[in-house]
Structure 1
Amino acid sequence: MTQQRGLDPYNSPKTFYGAEVRREREKRGWSQDTLGEKVFCSGTYIGQLEAAIRRPQLDMSRLLDEVFGTGEHFQRLCHLARKSKHADYFADAAELEKRAEVISQYAPMLVPGLLQTEAYARALVSEAQRFEPEDTVEALVRARLERQRILTQPTGPLLWVVMHEAVLRTQVGGPHVMAEQLRSVADVGRANRRVLVQVLPFEAGASAFLGADTANMTFSDAPPATYTESAYTGQLVEEPSLVVRYQRAYDLTRAASLPPEASLRLIEAVAKDYTKQ
């Protein structure tokens, strides 16, 4: 089971939530597996809640209040613990991203957030949040760039990105921003041995993946999960049969893509074209 001893319960709302789950569970003499059975999840998941690895969910909090007889205690704590720098629909995936061993991502239209330059990210967020104040835009840009720290950490994930050629051809922020962005992707792909980049060319035609941006994540201590996203919404998929289907679709798409070196050469060539505009 996940160990959480030594965590300061007052470090954050999430650690306090986990400490409260552990306190109520141990008061009744229940194991993590026993509590998991009562709220329809695994003991491992309970351990991850107690260790503040997983963000609590409102539905799970209602069940915990029911089995513990704690009124709305965990539901109230849940609202505090779910506060995040990221959009609520992405926040759970952002937490899992930090723990992933491998992230296999397909990008149909835009450069993935983990590879975006500041100028590219700001152009995207500014357009998507056109009616929001500037400080909101800046906060979202900063949060996106902070996520990229995992790519430089020794224990960070292996990132395998497949980008449709449309990503290279869709201008975001103008030619200068695109040239900088594509050069950055190519540089990371060449310099970081834990980042692999492939391009699905237009000539590949229909593929298993032509829809939403999708990231498959695998972990050393938990089952795999998939996150899919479209405009202003996203979904974390943990149903094993669905996760398997997403992974197979990704594998088929990767097989239809250009090899890594050819992909990097194409990205560099398109970046050079942008410098001429």
Structure 2
Amino acid sequence: MVNIRTLDPSASPLDYYGSELRRERERAGMTQEQLGGCLFCAASLIGQVETAMKVPTRNFSERLDAALGTEGRFSRLVGLVLRSQLPAWFQQFAEMEALATYISTYQAQLVYGLLQTKDYARALLEVDHYDKVDELVAARLDRQRILERELPPALWVIVDEAVLLREVGSREVMRKQLAHLLTFQRRQWAKIQVLPFASGQHTGMMGSFTLLRFESDPDLFYTEGYDSGHMTANPLVIRERSVGYARLQAMALSPEDSAELIARVMEERYGADRSTVA
């Protein structure tokens, strides 16, 4: 029997998306089976999205717009849906990250979310969120769309050497992740530095943090714990952490030497042939 679960469109972005999909499908005089045929997917998937039981992907949304002639409506809505899948305490940061013109971050343990590959992100997220890993991976990858804008934010990332050596997922996952980091050498607006173990004690030893700058709004400082994020525009904190970040930049390897270290770790630790690395 067809699932006719009633949705409250105001309950969440996912419920709103589902209700709009049902409305547009019925307006077009199509059954779930017919629409599924147009999208080359099962009717059950249409039903799951319409009843907010399944989170749509961006590709699904783009095909919906083409099939229903909705002029990009679902492609616009899916960004809100995916962002709503992020932890509630992280959503505000994700919104501000998307508005920033300059992002500088120090990462002590992990590759920064904007630079993670799909497999690396999945390996991380399935540790504690196995029941909704697909949705969280999709949301994390959707965050990365800001890097593909015509005018992306300037991005400066400092990673501790430990990030390169911690095997996340598998050796193959790490090979691909480090290779992905190397591709950013070719982007004028992105720089990656590695803070080597030889640097000894440093101002980032309290943990990872991120600074966001905007065209006209105050700068923001962000850090997070296990189940909460802390964001502030306090000028004293911004000043102290900005100076701290400059010190980390001075202590880290240059972007060119950092790329050389990343390539060497790929080769020696994860078995990559550096000659095949773009």
Same fold (TM over 0.5): yes
Residue 226 of structure 2 aligns with an amino acid whose one-letter code is: A
Give RMSD over aligned pairs.
Answer: 2.4
Query: Shift of the alpha carbon at 1:12?
Result: 11
TM-score, reference length from structure 2 = 0.66
Query: Shift of the alpha carbon at 1:11?
Result: 11
Partner-residue secondary structure (3-state), 1:223: coil
Contact 1:122 1:141 in 2 (8 A): yes
2:207 and 2:89 map into 1 onto residues whose CA distance is 14
Residue 241 of structure 1 corresponds to 236
Partner-residue secondary structure (3-state), 1:109: coil
Residue 110 of structure 1 corresponds to 110
Partner-residue secondary structure (3-state), 1:106: strand
Q: Which of 196, 206, 211 pairs up with 1:211? A: 206
Q: Which of 228, 250, 272 pairs up with 2:267? A: 272
Contact 1:160 1:196 in 2 (8 A): yes
Residue 151 of structure 1 corresponds to 147
Query: Shift of the alpha carbon at 1:13?
Result: 8.4
Partner-residue secondary structure (3-state), 2:110: coil
Percent identity, aligned pairs only, is 35
TM-score, reference length from structure 1 = 0.67
Residue 87 of structure 1 corresponds to 87
Query: Shift of the alpha carbon at 1:178?
Result: 0.6
Partner-residue secondary structure (3-state), 1:104: strand
Residues 139/264 of structure 1: CA separation in 2 closer, same or farther (3 Å cut): same
Residue 155 of structure 2 aligns with an amino acid whose one-letter code is: L
Q: How does 1:215-226 map to 2 (within 5 A)?
A: 215-226=210-221
Query: Shift of the alpha carbon at 1:274?
Result: 3.5
Residue 104 of structure 1 aligns with an amino acid whose one-letter code is: S
Q: How many residues align?
A: 197
Residue 101 of structure 1 aligns with an amino acid whose one-letter code is: T
Task: Tell me which stretches of 4 or more aligned residues in structure 1 moved more than 4 Å.
Answer: 10-14
1:11 and 1:95 map into 2 onto residues whose CA distance is 20
CA offsets per residue over residues 55-107 of structure 1, 9 Å max, x none?
Answer: xxxxxxxxxxxxxxxxxxxxxxxxxxxx8231112111100111111100000
Query: Shift of the alpha carbon at 1:210?
Result: 1.5
Contact 1:98 1:156 in 2 (8 A): no
Contact 1:178 1:274 in 2 (8 A): no
Q: Which of 196, 214, 222 pairs up with 1:201? A: 196
Q: How does 1:1-277 map to 2 (within 5 A)?
A: 84-129=84-129, 132-133=130-131, 136-188=132-184, 190-276=185-271
- Give the unaligned 5+ runs of structure 1: 1-9, 15-82
